[in-house]
Amino acid sequence: MAFTFVKLRSYPAAEKAEALVAKGTAWLKTYPNVIFAADGEGLGKDLIMVSFHKNYSAYSDFMRSYAMEWGELISDLGSFLVSLGSGFKIRPFDLKYLAEDV
């Protein structure tokens, strides 16, 4: 699982933002492994994307494609990678916990 954080070179003007969102939505439709992408605030970044990858090679290929498509808009890009198989699990990844949130 990858949490990717992006810092934009500059935030798009309102008239360009709508077109960029449409382009991003269309691009992400080709990547069903991306379960969330949005703008936000924190860590000095402007965007976040949460994605799943079969292995590191698949992640690397995805990130290369992302950088090639969006590189002119990005000033900084970083990911936090989480192995769902190995390592310490304090709470395993499962959306069932949301059903328990009343």
Q: Is the pLDDT at 82 greater than 90, yes or no?
A: yes
pTM of the model as a whole:
0.85
How many residues are present in the chain? 102
Domain topology for 2-99:
Alpha-Beta Plaits (3.30.70)
Residues 6+ apart with CB under 8 A from 24: 37
Task: Kindly report, residue by residue over 10-61, the tens digit of the pLDDT.
Answer: 888 888 888 999 999 999 999 999 999 999 999 999 999 999 999 999 999 9
Closest by Cα among 10, 101, 4 to 51: 4
Strands (DSSP E) found in 10-102:
34-42, 45-51, 74-81
Q: Is the pLDDT at 102 greater than 80, yes or no?
A: no
* Rounded distance between C-alpha atoms, residue 40 and residue 50, angstroms: 13
Closest by Cα among 56, 54, 50, 55 to 35: 50
